[in-house]
């Protein structure tokens, strides 16, 4: 009887093993609507869909993603200023991209419907004059070293008496058309440097058939209500811009009731942005560079000129995003801007904006950004990569044996903590004190001398030290890159 039961057990094990082999090779024979069926159906993809973590040995899901083209951010600068702004620009961008990458990694352990791919690589090219590139300031070198995705390109043309905000469009057009570089990228964002990123800017959606996004400024102030904008259009209508003016007064009048559109940011597919840049560059040249860049930016949109050039190339359309719903916000004239408890700046719909332009015009926003992303001192401006740590010297008379052994009596330069459990005369035990009141030891007063039970004052047998060449001025400024616990930057043994 026992042999029969053993035979049944052996046969059962064989059947179970065969079933597992079949299950591994073919998957379960169950309706595919079941979640378990989906799981086993995907099991054959384990070699490419999953990988084993190098450290803990746990299985980590890796979503299969198609190789993505990189995205590109372009900006411009004509001098060695704005290093601090480039620091904030790059630091916030990298953190935003890292946040999205981490989010994609976390979602890998969720149901398949929640999976997402990490963001495509983002490159940043800031065009500068060729002369500046040949003698790149130390701060720019330090920034490029810290952020490998950042490149300074000597593509900003030298045009006499023409501001960088006008010259940059020709430089950008040359950069994108040279060697057909625009084909390398998926999307392009052109923007000023006074921008802080809160999310991946290339996560901004575009509707079907749209290839460029324009971003309106605050809706409560129209072109005709802004004296600056009116002056720009009057300049474009001047005969200095050509026969009868580049933009006629009649055409300008039709724009006065419309939204202002910021020229400090434009976003779209690489091919469409290339068309935009060539259109802007050619029209600014045609105006003799007498038209302001924002007036031109507005004109080619409202006149339909940009739409015509896009259509002529077989590309999609351009769309204007209202300021109240923009994920790329321009807040220069917005009277009130909100942010959440995490310090993330919001649009009027309560959405976290991917980027915020002109935040420096709001004192509170500027302080939030500076605290989050600002530098401690000018990068590349120090001779030493790291600040020097102060040396130590031994305090004379410390580190001797106890007075009972040496017979030398007490040393007034040393002090010890009373063994009685009291803090100061009549203070009671530590248990009786408000612990919050004594949490910082600098508030605790020790007796100058204490009895060690031998009837003689004890002297510390440990050496005491002081920092060399420090004072209350040593760490007085943030740019000193150091911090002192106490005002004089010294250790106070009597407080411990």
d(CA 96, CA 198): 6
Q: DSSP labels for 272-304? A: HHHHHHHHHHHHHHHTTT-S-HHHHHHHHHHTS
The pLDDT of residue 380 is: 74
State the pTM of this model: 0.73
Per-residue model confidence (pLDDT) at position 410: 39
Q: Regarding beta strands 328-330 and 261-269, do their DSSP bridges make them parallel or antiparallel, or are they unpaired?
A: unpaired
Query: Tokens standing for 473?
Result: 């001025």
Distance CA 129, CA 154 (A): 5
Q: Does domain 71-373 have CATH number 3.90.550.10?
A: yes
108: its two tokens: 């890998």
pLDDT at 3: 53
Q: What is the DSSP letter of 493?
A: G
Q: Are 385 and 486 in contact (CB under 8 A)?
A: no
CA quadruple 180, 184, 189, 194: dihedral sign: negative
- Predicted local confidence at residue 400, as pLDDT: 64
> Hey, what are 159's tokens?
């045009």
pLDDT of residue 370: 94
Per-residue pLDDT, 134: 94
The predicted structure's pLDDT at residue 414: 37
SS3 40: helix
Q: Return the pLDDT at 31.
A: 40
The predicted pLDDT at position 349 comes to 95
Give the residue from 466, 417, 410 showing the smallest Cα distance to 445: 417
Domain ranges of the chain: 71-373, 389-496
pLDDT at 57: 45
Q: Name residues of the chain where pLDDT drops below 70.
A: 1-63, 113, 239-245, 381-386, 400-460
Q: What is the pLDDT of residue 139?
A: 92
């Amino acid at each position: 009887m026992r042999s029969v039961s053993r035979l049944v057990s052996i046969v059962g094990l064989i059947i179970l093993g065969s079933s597992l082999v079949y299950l591994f090779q073919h998957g379960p024979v169950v309706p595919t609507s079941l979640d378990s069926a989906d799981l086993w159906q995907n099991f054959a993809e384990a070699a490419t869909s999953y990988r084993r973590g190098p450290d803990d040995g746990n299985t980590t899901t890796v979503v299969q993603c198609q190789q993505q083209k990189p995205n590109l951010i372009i900006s411009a600068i004509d001098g060695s200023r704005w290093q601090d702004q480039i620091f904030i620009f790059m630091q916030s961008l990298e953190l935003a991209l890292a946040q999205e990458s981490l989010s994609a990694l976390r979602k890998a352990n969720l149901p398949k419907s929640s999976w997402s791919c990490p963001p495509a690589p983002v490159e940043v090219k800031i065009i500068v004059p060729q002369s500046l590139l040949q003698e790149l300031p130390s701060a720019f070198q330090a920034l490029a070293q810290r952020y490998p995705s950042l490149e300074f390109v000597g593509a900003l043309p030298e045009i006499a008496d023409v501001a960088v905000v006008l010259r940059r469009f020709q430089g950008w057009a040359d950069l994108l058309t040279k060697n057909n570089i625009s084909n390398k990228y998926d999307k392009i964002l052109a923007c000023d440097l006074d921008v802080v990123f809160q999310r991946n800017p290339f996560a901004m959606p575009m509707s079907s058939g749209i290839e460029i996004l324009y971003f309106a400024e605050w809706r409560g102030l129209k072109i005709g209500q802004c004296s600056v904008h009116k002056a720009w259009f009057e300049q474009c209508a001047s005969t200095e811009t050509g026969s009868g003016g580049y933009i006629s007064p009649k055409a300008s009048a039709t724009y006065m009731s419309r939204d202002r559109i910021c020229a400090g940011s434009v976003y779209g597919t690489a091919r469409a942005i290339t068309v935009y840049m060539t259109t802007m560059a050619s029209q600014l040249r045609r105006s003799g560079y007498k038209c302001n860049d924002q007036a031109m930016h507005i004109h080619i949109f409202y006149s339909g000129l940009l739409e015509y050039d896009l259509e002529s190339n077989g590309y999609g359309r351009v769309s204007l995003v209202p300021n109240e719903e923009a994920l790329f916000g321009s807040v220069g004239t917005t009277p009130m801007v909100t942010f959440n408890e995490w310090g993330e700046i919001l649009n009027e719909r309560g959405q976290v904006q991917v980027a915020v332009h002109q935040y420096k015009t709001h004192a509170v926003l500027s302080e939030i950004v500076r605290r989050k992303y600002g530098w401690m001192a000018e990068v590349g401006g120090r001779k030493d990569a790291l600040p020097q740590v102060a040396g130590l010297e031994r305090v004379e008379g410390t580190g001797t044996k106890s007075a009972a052994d040496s017979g030398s009596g007490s040393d007034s330069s040393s002090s010890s903590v009373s063994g009685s459990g009291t803090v100061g005369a009549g203070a009671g035990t530590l248990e009786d004190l408000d612990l919050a009141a004594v949490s910082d030891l600098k508030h605790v007063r020790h007796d100058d001398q204490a009895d060690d039970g031998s009837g003689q004052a004890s002297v510390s047998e440990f050496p005491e030290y002081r920092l060399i060449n420090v004072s209350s001025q040593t760490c007085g400024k943030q740019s000193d890159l150091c911090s002192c616990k106490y005002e004089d930057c010294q250790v106070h043994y009597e407080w411990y």
